[in-house]
Structure 1
Amino acid sequence: MGFRKSFSILAISTALALTLSACTSDNKAPSASSASPSSPASSAPSASASDSGDANSERLEKIGLDSNVKFKETRKITVEIYDRGNDGGSKPEDNFYTQYIKDGMLRDHNVEVTFVPVPRWTEGEALNNLLAGNQAPDVSITYSYPTIQTYANMGGILDLAPLVEENKDILPDMWEYLTEANIYWDRDPSTGTLWALESRLNTLNRINTFVREDWLKKLNIEAPTTLQEFESMLVAFKDNASTLLGSDADKMIPFSTSFDVGWRADHLTTSYVPDNMTDRDVFVYGFDDRHLLFPNYKEGIRTLNKWYNQGLVWKDFPLYPAGDKTEDNLMKAGYVGAFIHNWDYPYRDGDEGIHANLQRLVGPDAAYIAIEPFANDAGVYKKFLSGPVDRKIFFPATNKEPVASLLYINWISKLENRVFLQFGEEGVTHEKLPDGSLKTIAATGEKIMNSPANIDYTITSNGIDLGNPDLTVKSMANAYAGVDARFIEVANQITTHDGRVGKNANVGEIKAEEGQGQALKDKRDAFLDKAVVASVDQFDSVYDSGMKDYLTTGGQAIIDERAAAWEKYFGTETMLK
Structure 2
Amino acid sequence: MKEKPMRLPGRAACTAVLALLCPLLLLSACGLFSPGVERPPVRFPQVSVAMLDRGEVSESEGSYEHNRWTKWIEEQSGIGLKIVPVPRNQAGEKLNRLIAAGAAPDLIWEYDRNYIGTLVAQGVVQPLDEYIDKYSTVVKSYIANNPDLAPYMTFDGRLYAITTRRTPDAMANGGLWIRRDWLERVGMKAPSTEEEFFAVLQAFRDSGLAGPAEAPVLSLYAHYAHVFQALYATHPTQWYVENGTMTNARFVDRVVDELAFERKLYANGYIDREYLTDTDMQRSMTAWTEGRTGVLIGNYGPAVSSSMLELLGHVPEADPVPLEPFATKYGHMGMYQETPAFIYVALNKHASDPEAAVRYLDWMMEKGWFTLLHGFENEHYRLVDGVPQTIDADKFRREAAYAGEYAIVRDSAASFRPEGLIAGAAPDAVSRRWAGLLAQSLETALRYPFRRDIPYSPNMAAIGDAFGAVGPRLSDIRTAAIVTGELTPGEALEQMRREWRDAGGEQVDRLAQQWYERNRDGFERTKGLLRP
TM-score, normalised via structure 1 length: 0.72
1:127 to 95, 98, 102: 95
1:209 aligns with 2:143: no
**What is the distance in 2 between the residues matched to 1:336 and 1:306?**
17
Matched, 1:159 2:127: yes
1:320 to 258, 266, 278: 278
Q: Which residue of 2 aligns with 1:39?
A: none
CA contact (8 A) 1:271 1:382 kept: no
What does residue range 21-420 of structure 1 map to in structure 2 within 5 Å? 74-86=44-56, 88=58, 90=61, 91-106=63-78, 111-169=79-137, 171-172=139-140, 174-175=142-143, 179-189=146-156, 192-203=157-168, 204-241=171-208, 244-245=209-210, 248-250=211-213, 252-257=215-220, 262-270=225-233, 284-285=246-247, 291-321=249-279, 323-344=280-301, 347-349=304-306, 353-357=307-311, 359-360=313-314, 363-375=315-327, 379-414=331-366, 416-420=367-371
The 3-state SS of whatever aligns with 1:292 is: helix
Distance of 2:189 and 2:344 partners within structure 1: 42
| Corresponding position of 1:465 | 412
CA RMSD of aligned residues (A): 3.7
Rounded to whole Å, the distance in 1 between the matches of 2:260 and 2:330 is 20
Q: 1:464-509 CA deviation, whole Å, 9 max, x = no partner?
A: 9375344x64146644772413322321111111214757657975
- Report Cα offsets for 1:210-262 as digits up to 9, x if no partner: 11221111112111122222111111111111xx24xx323531234479563
| Contact persistence 2:230–2:450 (CA under 8 A) | no
What is the SS of the residue equivalent to 1:348?
Answer: helix
Residues 375/86 of structure 1: CA separation in 2 closer, same or farther (3 Å cut): same
Asked whether the equivalents of residues 142 and 393 of structure 1 are also in contact (C-alpha less than 8 Å), the reply is: yes
Q: Which amino acid aligns with 1:209?
A: L
Report the alpha carbon displacement of residue 135 of structure 1 after superposing the two structures with TM.
1.5
Residue identity matched to 1:140: I
Contact 1:381/1:497 (8 A) holds in 2: no
Deviation of 1:83 (Å):
1.9
User: What is the number of residues matched between the two proteins?
Assistant: 475
**Partner SS, residue 104 of structure 2:** coil
Partners of 1:80 and 1:116 within 8 A in 2: yes
Deviations 1:57-84 (A, max 9, x none): xxxxxxxxxxxxxxxx842221222222
Taking the aligned partners of 2:302 and 2:214, their CA distance within structure 1 comes to: 22
Partner secondary structure for residue 327 of structure 2: coil
* Structure 1 SS opposite 2:406: coil
CA distance in 2, matches of 1:123, 1:573: 29
Relative to structure 1, is the Cα distance of residues 314 and 125 closer, same or farther in structure 2, using a 3 angstrom cutoff?
same
- d(CA) in 1 for partners of 2:185 and 2:371? 43
Q: Which of residues 370, 375, 378 in structure 2 aligns to 1:424? A: 375
In structure 2, the CA distance between the partners of 1:283 and 1:521, relative to structure 1 (3 Å rule), is farther
Task: Quote the residue 1:49 is aligned against.
Answer: none
TM-score (norm 2): 0.77
Over alpha carbons, which structure has the higher Rg? 2
Structure 2 unmatched ranges of 5 or more? 1-42, 528-532
Residue in 1 aligned with 2:510? Answer: 560
CA 1:365 to 1:85, structure 2 compared with 1: closer, same or farther past 3 Å? same
Change in CA separation of 1:460 and 1:447 when aligned onto 2, cut-off 3 Å: same
1:198 is paired with a residue of what secondary structure?
Answer: strand
Tell me the amino acid that sits aligned with residue 113 of structure 1. Answer: L
Residues 278 and 574, structure 1, Cα contact 8 Å, conserved in 2? no
Percent identity, aligned pairs only, is 18
> C-alpha distance in 1, partners of 2:123/2:413?
39
Indicate conservation of the 8 Å contact 1:131/1:396, yes or no: no
Note if contact 1:419-1:466 (Cα within 8 Å) is conserved in structure 2.
no
Give the secondary structure class of the aligned counterpart of 1:369.
strand
CA deviation after TM superposition for structure 1 residue 527, in Å = 3.2
97-106 or 382-391: bigger deviation: 382-391
Ranges of 4+ aligned residues in structure 1 off by more than 6 Å: 280-283, 571-576
